[in-house]
Structure 1
Amino acid sequence: MSGAPAEPALKRGVTGPGYFALAFGTIVGSAWMVLMGEWVAPAGPGGAVLAFLGMTLLMVPVAAAYAELVARVPRAGAEFVFVEKAFGPWPGFVTGWYLTLYFVGISAFEGLALSWFLENLIPSLSGQTPLYTLLGRPVTAMDLMVGLAGAAIMTLLNASGAKVAVGFQKIVTFAFLTASALLVLLGFAQGDISNWQPLFESAQGRSFGGGMFVMLGVAGMWLSGFQNAASAVEERAPGTSFGTVARAMMLAVAVAALFYSLIILAASSLAPWRDLTTGALPVAAAFDHALAGGLATNGIILVAMASLLKTWNAMHLSATRVILAQARAGFLPASLAHIDARTGAPRRAALLVGFWTCLGVLAGRGAISPIISMGTMCTTAIAAVALFALMRLRAMDRVVPAFALPGGRPLLMAIAVGATVVASAAIATPFGISESMPVEIWLMLGWLALGGLLVMAQRLLIGAPAPQPA
């Protein structure tokens, strides 16, 4: 790859637990608290559990395929470097630029969601006079204060190096798993499994088969995110093998599916599951059956906020690495590839991610729906492209890497086709909802145009060399 003549090194120190924390911490954020009703409504609690456990059969091999990509191209930047290596600089740039949009967009989403959770935790904070209205939603001083403060903290963590950022990630992830285990035990201890009935039935007037089809797509989306561990491959601690990274990502998918399944059953045992399909915080409402006085609601909100922070941190770290990789390749200014000598971190890239996150926070809660829609399209499409990149890399280099996806070409082709179907559904969904060109599509086209202009400006005004193949 082109860029600075002498490439600085990222500081190594991420071990197996750190990769697990990055992978699991991104898969499981705070959606389980807000979207529980949307998970059980299509096919009942039994259908939701079947969907998550069934989709694990696809997502674990996908995680193994990513582990092979990491072993073949062990560089920061994840899908950007995989696609650039397989298909050339410009396909790599388009992939990396949309990957940047996904990471930064979700980082902004976490800042906006954090403010909303805080309002639910402390109701007196709600009802503030809006500072302005954007995208049809008011933006308050608290929205900005919480979101911008969170962005500053995440920027500080990631500017301090992977050791600090991943250390924070491990603490929050394993604390979350402990708290989640207690929540599940409480749900089963205080609940009644008769509330699961009917275990397999749609609350939306669908057939059970139609509801399961919907839930399989939902499960595929909410079991994604393990890819973030690939962003930190260049920072593996000495002695941490590619097999360790692979096991961490695959285990993260399995543990996430188990968590989702158990929290669905625990919440559904505390109240008739159809009650979960109404209300803003259905899990908290269900647990209030076990602990009176709002203690359950407040406790679960705190757990969800902690979970949100780990997802935010992982997204910021991944965004920083993909910007670093694009700068190394000559698409972004070479200064963004600078590594701080003391911390071994790409501090300038981390600051840029923080700045872009703040811009997203300024857009307010009206940006949440477009962010989620764009993020879904980006992450599903990029995952499919990455799997086809693996096919290409195998054809280019017959040497078996330190870790390889078992099953050969048939399994790789099967999961690539499955990922393509999921991506196609994600891209088609906004068109089915909107009567005209969806706003998300306009935003994504504008983002691509902005990236092209930045690359052209760098080449024309700064005299940077044209990007070259890896």
Structure 2
Amino acid sequence: MSEGSAPAGPALRRGVTGPGFFALAFGTIVGSAWMVLMGEWVSPAGPGGAVLAFLGMTLLMVPVAAAYAELVARVPRAGAEFVFVEKAFGPWPGFITGWFLTLYFVGICAFEGLALSWFLENLLPSVAGQPPLYTLLGKPITILDLAIGLAGAAVMTVLNAAGATIAVGFQKVVTFSFLAASAMLVLLGFAQGDPANWRPLFESAQDRSFIGGMFVMLGVAGMWLSGFQTAASAVEERAPGTSFRTVAKAMTLAVLMAALFYSLIILASTSLLPWRALTTGALPVAAAFDQALAGGIATKGILLVAMASLLKTWNAMHLSATRVILAQARAGFLPSMLAHVDARSGAPRRAALLVGGWTCVGVLAGRGAISPIIAMGTICTTAIAAVALLVLMRLRAMNEGGSAPAYVLPGGRPLLLSITLGATIVAIAAVVAPFGVAAGVPVEIWLMLGWALLGAMLVSLRRLWAAMVLTRIDRQGMSRA
């Protein structure tokens, strides 16, 4: 299939505009982690160091987002990094990339289901404390965990099976509502807070130097500014009249807005309480805003905002996983039934159902799977981002002397080389990190090896089935002759 050609059969329905691409990108970058991880963000280098880290990493992530925009202009098909790598390096490198990209998307879907039940327990303490049904990975799993996680998976599956128009419409409503609520939250924090609580602005609360803490925070900021790649998954559903430059603006604006949100919520939260007080506790942002609104009103309001934010991330991840599976099925790696697009809705319903089923499996693993999921997601997304930039270098070389795509990353080769080097360093750090905190081979590495084995089995079964069908056709032809 050529880069601009449409697949055989019903096509994905085109209707995603600039605001939709922005909602997918921003909605994935900013989930609910800011509410839980605030203490971990300010501990390494203080609130000033955390803000500097997020703003500093923006200098890397904005060009990376623009590079992705050039990639989708060169290969405007569903499947994101899978189709990029397939075009540049061939089918098998593409499949390996796409298969682990699927793991990342599905893993985060499961994570959102597990996190949703935890937020609900904090919102309604009366439903917490139920007896466990079973224990897995060292954590008990209750009926509430399963009910909320599985119900959420069902809702996301139905939403995405209805097509991009419905799924992205939901994404826009939740994303822009979240931005409005966040603006009010930040204004409340600054109105009620005291800048004296920021002092010392640049200091580590850990057993490390400020410079060492800044290095830690730069890595953290890089991870929490990624996720804009989900917008690339919907490029085949780009509405007529929506240019690749519009897609580029949406993705880069999403990174900028995410960095601004993180910076403002850090400063607003730490103005309400001395920032060292936020380095302990499960919900530090809620604890800070309880200083502005007594009676637990702030905690409940922030939990509702965080739960809504979680849903938009979950929706975008489900949509992206569905498109990557669709692309792998189109290429012949996964069963052809997964390449089916519903003629009426223009949605890859079978792929959406598969993502929902895999999400349910992840939910059944319980909260003990959260840490391995985050670690696997970090490894996959950082490594694949570095690979994508290498792909762009390769595609430029392959097209040297040819016509330029509709959008090109500004800055030329020097900028592309610089961000590729930066992304590669971040990826290496992400791959090495689990080995520094676990004795032996970390759980997430075993899970990734198991996922690789599952992929090999599916491809083998697909090829075996195709061979059996061809043999049967040959025999029928011979018998008729």
TM bucket (normalised to shorter chain) is over 0.9
Report whether the alignment pairs 1:417 with 2:416: no
The 1:177–1:465 alpha-carbon spacing in structure 2 relative to 1, beyond 3 Å, is farther
Offset of residue 226 of structure 1: 0.3
Opposite residue 237 of structure 2, the aligned amino acid is E
- TM-score relative to the length of structure 1: 0.98
When Rg is computed on C-alpha atoms for both structures, the one with the higher figure is 2
The 1:209–1:128 alpha-carbon spacing in structure 2 relative to 1, beyond 3 Å, is same
Describe the superposition over 1:424-461 as per-residue Cα deviations: whole angstroms up to 9, x where unpaired: 00000000001101111111111111101110111113
CA RMSD of aligned residues (A): 1.3
CA contact (8 A) 1:30 1:308 kept: yes
Query: Which residue is 1:120 aligned to?
Result: 122
Opposite residue 261 of structure 2, the aligned amino acid is F
CA contact (8 A) 1:458 1:464 kept: no
Query: Which residue is 1:92 aligned to?
Result: 94
Query: Which residue is 2:474 aligned to?
Result: none
Q: Secondary structure at 1:118's aligned position in 2?
A: helix
Query: Which residue is 1:63 aligned to?
Result: 65
Query: Which residue is 1:437 aligned to?
Result: 441
Query: Which residue is 1:8 aligned to?
Result: 10
Query: Which residue is 1:279 aligned to?
Result: 281
Report whether the alignment pairs 1:333 with 2:332: no
Separation (CA, whole Å) in 1 of partners of 2:218 and 2:302: 26
Query: Which residue is 2:244 aligned to?
Result: 242
Opposite residue 210 of structure 1, the aligned amino acid is G
Separation (CA, whole Å) in 2 of partners of 1:440 and 1:153: 28
Picking from 453, 459, 481, the partner of 1:455 is 459
Offset of residue 188 of structure 1: 0.3
Offset of residue 206 of structure 1: 1.2
The equivalences for 1:179-190 within 5 A come to 179-190=181-192
Query: Which residue is 2:210 aligned to?
Result: 208
Q: Alignment identity in percent?
A: 81
Offset of residue 463 of structure 1: 2.8
The 1:464–1:413 alpha-carbon spacing in structure 2 relative to 1, beyond 3 Å, is farther
Describe the superposition over 1:186-205 as per-residue Cα deviations: whole angstroms up to 9, x where unpaired: 00000100000000000002
Q: Secondary structure at 2:229's aligned position in 1?
A: helix
Describe the superposition over 1:108-157 as per-residue Cα deviations: whole angstroms up to 9, x where unpaired: 00000000000000001111010000111000000000000000000000
**Structure 1 ranges of 4+ moved more than 3 A:** none
CA contact (8 A) 1:330 1:465 kept: no
Separation (CA, whole Å) in 2 of partners of 1:245 and 1:5: 22
Separation (CA, whole Å) in 1 of partners of 2:462 and 2:268: 54
Separation (CA, whole Å) in 2 of partners of 1:463 and 1:114: 44
Offset of residue 6 of structure 1: 2.3
CA contact (8 A) 1:332 1:455 kept: yes
Offset of residue 408 of structure 1: 1.0
Offset of residue 239 of structure 1: 0.3
Query: Which residue is 2:476 aligned to?
Result: none
Offset of residue 8 of structure 1: 2.8
Opposite residue 447 of structure 1, the aligned amino acid is W
Separation (CA, whole Å) in 1 of partners of 2:273 and 2:433: 32
Structure 2 stretches of 5 or more lacking a match? 471-481
CA contact (8 A) 1:36 1:276 kept: yes
Separation (CA, whole Å) in 2 of partners of 1:209 and 1:81: 40
Offset of residue 5 of structure 1: 7.9
Picking from 332, 344, 347, the partner of 2:346 is 344
Query: Which residue is 1:315 aligned to?
Result: 317
Separation (CA, whole Å) in 1 of partners of 2:84 and 2:10: 20
Opposite residue 97 of structure 1, the aligned amino acid is W
Separation (CA, whole Å) in 1 of partners of 2:243 and 2:468: 36
Opposite residue 430 of structure 1, the aligned amino acid is P
Offset of residue 410 of structure 1: 1.0
Separation (CA, whole Å) in 1 of partners of 2:451 and 2:150: 22
Number of residue pairs aligned between Structure 1 and Structure 2: 465
Describe the superposition over 1:351-372 as per-residue Cα deviations: whole angstroms up to 9, x where unpaired: 0000000000000000000000
The equivalences for 1:169-180 within 5 A come to 169-180=171-182
- TM-score relative to the length of structure 2: 0.95
Query: Which residue is 2:477 aligned to?
Result: none
Separation (CA, whole Å) in 1 of partners of 2:465 and 2:234: 32
Q: Secondary structure at 2:135's aligned position in 1?
A: strand
Query: Which residue is 1:227 aligned to?
Result: 229
Opposite residue 251 of structure 2, the aligned amino acid is M
Segment drifting more, 223-232 vs 398-407: 398-407
Opposite residue 149 of structure 2, the aligned amino acid is G
Q: Secondary structure at 1:75's aligned position in 2?
A: coil
Picking from 139, 156, 160, the partner of 1:158 is 160
Query: Which residue is 1:408 aligned to?
Result: 412
Separation (CA, whole Å) in 2 of partners of 1:462 and 1:86: 26
Q: Secondary structure at 1:381's aligned position in 2?
A: helix
Picking from 371, 380, 391, the partner of 1:369 is 371
Report whether the alignment pairs 1:299 with 2:306: no
Offset of residue 465 of structure 1: 10
Query: Which residue is 1:109 aligned to?
Result: 111
Query: Which residue is 1:138 aligned to?
Result: 140
Picking from 207, 216, 219, the partner of 1:217 is 219
Offset of residue 390 of structure 1: 0.5
Query: Which residue is 2:42 aligned to?
Result: 40
